[in-house]
Amino acid sequence: MWLNARVGSALGRRFWGRLRMPIALSKNELEGMIQDLSILLVDNNQYMRKIVRNLLINIGVRKVYEASDGIAGLDAIRIVTPDVVIIDWELPLLNGAEFVRIVRSPGVFPFSDIPIIMLSSHGERWRVVEAVRIGVNEYLRKPVSAQALLDRLTAIVAKPRPVVQLGDYYGPAPRKLVGDPVTEPSVAPAPDGTSLN
């Protein structure tokens, strides 16, 4: 199977070396990486945004931006270029799944490689499968804990998966393929022309 991996986001370029050669991170290095993240939180419930913002601040994240619906979230990505997006499934105007489909359209959306965490009160298996199918990096169910958020952010930062194009799928490489030497993805150059070495 031939995979075409691209790393275009700031987060992807920053942690590119770990995609090819896993490096054990010290606790201080990991904390520093978490502190340096800028996170966009997209949820129509103001109270939930406040809770998640406080959880993120408690685990060390310094920059948290908010949007109250999917359309405002797309605009916020273009304006603040966050490292990670945390989005609810149920949103007015443009729901979480539609938002992810737009973001994961490399010919249409300029920041299609950004890591996305779906945070939803729905935990049905079909929703989780659908979220993975459309290109979500991680899925969390509400109510969420600070430790669960930290674990997902750590997975994104410490073990980033390359973004791949597999037929109609565009998103993070499936976990079973990331470390498989038989199906090692081919790496495309970064879109901005920066060297990855």
Locate the domains of the chain by residue range: 26-160
Whole-number Å distance between alpha carbons of 112 and 109? 6
pTM for the predicted model, two decimal places: 0.79
Per residue in 104-140, pLDDT (tens digit) is: 999 899 999 999 999 999 888 999 999 999 999 999 9
Q: Give the H/E segment covering residue 58.
A: helix 46-58
Distances (CA, A) of 197 to 13, 16, 139, 187, 192: 10, 9, 31, 12, 14
26-160 maps to CATH 1.25.40.10: no
Per residue in 162-180, pLDDT (tens digit) is: 999 998 999 999 876 444 4
Quote the tokens at residue 182.
């038989």
Per residue in 1-22, pLDDT (tens digit) is: 233 334 444 454 444 333 444 4
- With 70 as the cut, is the pLDDT of residue 188 above it? no
Please tell me which residue, 187 or 95, carries the higher pLDDT value. Answer: 95
Contacts of 49 (CB under 8 A, 6+ apart): 41, 43, 66, 68
Peptide bond into 110 cis (omega under 30): no
CA atoms within 13 A on the CB side of 101: 8
- In the chain, the DSSP E strands lie at 4-6, 38-42, 63-67, 84-87, 116-120, 138-141, 163-166, 169-172, 186-187
Residue reference for tokens 């993805």? 185
Mean pLDDT of 17-33: 70
Mean pLDDT of 35-59: 97
